[in-house]
Structure 1
Amino acid sequence: MATTFAALIFRTAEIPDRALSQGFAVALGGWDVASPRLFVAQLPGAPGLSAAFYSSGAPAGGGDDELDHLVELFEDELSPPVAVLDAAAELGHAGATVFALVFSEDVVHDDGWRFEASGFVRHFVREGEEGIEAGVEAPDRSDIVEVDVDLPEGATAAEERDATERAIRPHRGSTFLAAELGIPVLGALMGALFAPERRLEVRLIEPGPGSIADEVARLNRVLRREGGRGAPASPPPVRGVAPPATYAAFVRAYDWADPADPEDLYRELAIGAVEGTLRFLREDELRGHDREPGWEAAAARQLYPIARLSGSALGGGAAALAGRAIVALGTDGERLWVVRGGTSATPAGPTFGELLRYLSLGWSRRSDAEEDLIGALMLRARLRSLGG
């Protein structure tokens, strides 16, 4: 079977796993892909270098469709390497360099990139409409030429393959990367591709209580609040449903008694199906759900209420139809639902952690990278709320 792949190559000390996961998630924000994932491995024979191989999760044998997806994704202005560099900088690794290769044996396609904060350089060969073409791109140049293959008359198929390889070898992206890194890149990548060391989920925000505590701390800093102020000893069960561990972590870290903002309302939200004004439920309101008419159905689905959602102050549109609704957390402590009338539960779109990051970004002066992140949060939430 012909090999097709897209890989990022990086110095292991410069790019944490979180930067890989978040960066690919940002780049994929508006893409409806099945189950994106990364496989990471050290490059054999290249101490200090690692590779992350991306897969869309499409069924094996996707062929041309998968290559088309890889090409389009990596040629996008907000490509995975760009978003990974942004995420690495956010995590304290500014100045990192990332290399990328999109490669296929099935057709002539060998596209190599070097990305850094100052810009990029790209070398490639590919099959164009008129034959094989080669190119070099940078922020200030774009040169594409047809590759001439010198063939003797009556050349055999083997001679044609050899002549084609000689003609394209100097232009290959893998040839460019081999010179940049001082290693036989293609061979090293082939070795790593078939011996991955670990799998990474592609996530905008990590799940789990620790991540939620970090997101609440971030929100507190943005709003100049005091973590844990007025927090109850522990959140109560609601209709027999115990609070997920992520919600318990939220309760401990959140500021429940900010004297500068006693209403504690988050107005004009628009992320997935969470539209309007949101207020996190207090302890007495949680206990009141034991008497809330119709909440038995939500409890039967093991949903735990965490916030009340009301129509936007702007009025009109879909937000105004939100009416009286509850944002509830599923048993996994990650997925959110919008519950109306205690019975109708629809996917909210964002995860719990994504909602908290959206809130902190919404009340921040955002960098370009943060604008990309909030855009990805909204796009991903929209796809999920529609069942994507």
Structure 2
Amino acid sequence: MATTFAALIFRPAEIPDRALSQGFAVALGGWAVASPRLFVAPLPGVPGFCAAYYASGEPAAAGGDELDHLVELFDDELSPPVAVLDAAAELGHPGATIYALVFSEEVVHDDGWRFEASGFVRHFVREGEEGVEAGVETPDRSDVVEVDIDLPEGATEQQEREALDRAIRPHRGSTFLAAELGAPVLGALMGGLFAPERRVDVRLVEPGPASIAAEVARLNRALRREGGRGAPASPPPVRGVAAPATYEAFARAYDWADPADPEDLYRELAIGAIEGTLRFLREDELRGHEREPGWEAAAARRLYPLARLSSSALGGGGAAQRAVVALGADGEQLWLVRGGTSAAPAGPTFGELLRYLSLGWSRRSDAEEDLIGALMLRARLRSLGG
């Protein structure tokens, strides 16, 4: 069976798993890929380096295949290696270097890169419209030529394959990477592909109470607030639904009593289906849901009220409409509840909403602009059922 893969090659000391996870999530922000996967393996024969193999997790569609997706994704201006480098810099590794290879045995495709903060170098061979072509690309240069293949008259199929291999070998991306790393990279990648050490989930923001507490701390810093001020002793259950652990972490860390902003309103939000003005519910408002008409249906779905949302976009007419943003039983997914009965995916996860808020009230770097864009794209796709 022909092998096709895309992999990043990196030093683990420079590229932590969180950078891989966030970087791929940013690069995939606008892609309707429901189950992207990353598997990490050490590279045999290339000391100090690991490879992260990406796959879409989607079955091949009629008229297309995984290679089409890989080529388009890695050709994008905001490709996975670029976004991973940005994430690594955010995590304290600004001098990291990443290598990448998109390779297929199904057709001639061997595309290799070196990425660093100062730029990139790319060497490739691929099947073009007029035959096999080779190229070298940098930020300031792009050279593509057709590959001449010297075939003897009456050559056999085996001789044709050997002539093709001789002609393209100097131009291969894997040949370029072998020279960069001083080792036969393609063989090492083939070995690592079938011996993964661990899986890394592709996420813009990690789930769980510790991550939520960190995101609230980030938001407090952006707003110059004091963490935990006015925090409730213990969030109450609502219609028999206990507060998820992520909500408890949020409630402990959030600033509920900022004297400079007593209304505590987040205006003009636009992330997924959360459009309008948002205010996190106080303890008395949570307890009020014990009497909220129709909330029994939301409680039956194990939803926990998080915030009040008001916007004319939520319903017909020009009058402001109100809904509740609720937290799912997993402590991660957010739902938009109208009238206590109708619940629809809000789009962002709890952690993504908090990161969106902190970025929205911050002066953003180019990498953070990419991140907030990915948060909005991914939330929009989810809110539409993608």
Q: Does 1:358 align with 2:356?
A: yes
Of all paired residues, the percent bearing the same amino acid is 86
Q: Does 1:309 align with 2:309?
A: yes
Q: Matched residue of 2:65: which SS? A: helix
- Residue 20 of structure 1: CA displacement? 0.1
Deviation digits for residues 301-351 of structure 1, max 9, x if unmatched?
Answer: 000001000016xx8998967711000000000000000000010000000
Take 1:318 and 1:119, find their aligned partners in 2: how far apart are those partners?
50
Asked if structure 1 preserves the Cα contact closer than 8 Å seen for 2:238 and 2:287, the reply is yes
Asked if structure 2 preserves the Cα contact closer than 8 Å seen for 1:177 and 1:185, the reply is yes
Per the alignment, do residues 46 and 321 of structure 1 end up closer, same or farther by CA in structure 2, a change over 3 Å counting? farther
Q: Does 1:47 align with 2:36?
A: no
Match of 2:21 in 1: 21
Asked if structure 2 preserves the Cα contact closer than 8 Å seen for 1:275 and 1:319, the reply is no
Per the alignment, do residues 185 and 61 of structure 1 end up closer, same or farther by CA in structure 2, a change over 3 Å counting? farther
TM alignment of 1:1-388, pairs within 5 A: 1-59=1-59, 64-311=64-311, 323-388=321-386
Q: Matched residue of 1:369: which SS? A: helix
AA aligned to 2:297 is A
> Which 5+ residue runs of structure 2 have no aligned equivalent?
none
Per the alignment, do residues 319 and 349 of structure 1 end up closer, same or farther by CA in structure 2, a change over 3 Å counting? farther
TM-score in terms of structure 2 length: 0.98
Take 1:178 and 1:321, find their aligned partners in 2: how far apart are those partners?
64
Deviation digits for residues 72-117 of structure 1, max 9, x if unmatched?
Answer: 0000000000000000000000010000000000000000000000
Per the alignment, do residues 195 and 20 of structure 1 end up closer, same or farther by CA in structure 2, a change over 3 Å counting? same
AA aligned to 2:383 is S
Take 2:314 and 2:58, find their aligned partners in 1: how far apart are those partners?
40
Per the alignment, do residues 317 and 332 of structure 1 end up closer, same or farther by CA in structure 2, a change over 3 Å counting? closer
Take 2:194 and 2:81, find their aligned partners in 1: how far apart are those partners?
22
Asked if structure 2 preserves the Cα contact closer than 8 Å seen for 1:272 and 1:385, the reply is yes
Asked if structure 1 preserves the Cα contact closer than 8 Å seen for 2:315 and 2:321, the reply is no
Take 1:276 and 1:230, find their aligned partners in 2: how far apart are those partners?
25
Asked if structure 2 preserves the Cα contact closer than 8 Å seen for 1:276 and 1:320, the reply is no
AA aligned to 2:308 is R
> Which 5+ residue runs of structure 1 have no aligned equivalent?
none
What number of residue pairs does the alignment pair up?
386
Asked if structure 2 preserves the Cα contact closer than 8 Å seen for 1:276 and 1:322, the reply is no
Take 1:165 and 1:15, find their aligned partners in 2: how far apart are those partners?
34
Take 2:122 and 2:85, find their aligned partners in 1: how far apart are those partners?
16
- Write out the 4+ residue segments of structure 1 that deviate beyond 2 Å after TM superposition: 59-64, 315-322
- Residue 63 of structure 1: CA displacement? 9.3
Q: Matched residue of 1:148: which SS? A: coil
Asked if structure 2 preserves the Cα contact closer than 8 Å seen for 1:308 and 1:327, the reply is yes
- Residue 287 of structure 1: CA displacement? 0.3
Asked if structure 1 preserves the Cα contact closer than 8 Å seen for 2:60 and 2:66, the reply is no
- Residue 58 of structure 1: CA displacement? 1.3
Deviation digits for residues 263-290 of structure 1, max 9, x if unmatched?
Answer: 0000000000000000000000000000
AA aligned to 1:91 is L
Take 1:158 and 1:177, find their aligned partners in 2: how far apart are those partners?
27
Asked if structure 2 preserves the Cα contact closer than 8 Å seen for 1:311 and 1:319, the reply is no
AA aligned to 1:385 is S
Q: Matched residue of 1:195: which SS? A: coil
CA RMSD of aligned residues (A): 1.6
